[in-house]
Amino acid sequence: MDPSAIVFGSSACVLGVAIALQNGLPLARAKASQRWPTTIGRVRSAQIESYGASLWRTTYAGCAPSVGFEYTLDGRQFERRAFVGNGSGKFDDAQAMLRRYHTGQQVSVRYDPSHPARAVMDGEYVGGSEVLTFFGCILCAVGALMIVSSLRL
């Protein structure tokens, strides 16, 4: 039994699962929302939101176009916020995207009939990547193989 292979294999499994979930869940939600019924909503606000993160002594900063919208179902009003655009994090891209949205503008909203407060606005940035989801699964499988092969020794 090789302890280092178990540590590296376990790390690869955990990292692989995290990458797969981080990228696969948004894609699965987006795919499910394509089957949801639609209603008309209204834009409440459109603004640029900035964000930042530090990783290994490097700071990453960016911004995203954010649109607040509301919709009404069976007399109940719901409010949500959606990130729109391509997720590039660039100010010019965010500004260009926000030019498409104005307060009071009608927008198409897809809502989950079993949970009407769960909704997406058409044009909402989904996030996630099929390639990274696949990579996460492969990384997890490689980690599992490392663990199994080290236990057989």
In angstroms, the CA 20 to CA 144 distance is: 15
User: In 3-state terms, what secondary structure has residue 133?
Assistant: helix
In angstroms, the CA 93 to CA 104 distance is: 22
Structure confidence at residue 40 (pLDDT): 95
In angstroms, the CA 61 to CA 46 distance is: 20
Phi, psi of 122 (to 5 degrees): -60, 135
Query: Using one digit for the tens of pLDDT, what is the confidence trace for 114-152?
Result: 999 988 887 665 566 678 888 889 989 998 988 888 887
Structure confidence at residue 88 (pLDDT): 67
Structure confidence at residue 45 (pLDDT): 92
Structure confidence at residue 108 (pLDDT): 92
Structure confidence at residue 86 (pLDDT): 63
pLDDT mean for each 10 residues of the chain (153 residues): 83 89 78 87 90 70 85 94 74 83 92 91 67 86 89 73
Q: Where are the domains of the chain?
A: 3-152
Q: Rounded to two decimals, what is the model's pTM?
A: 0.64
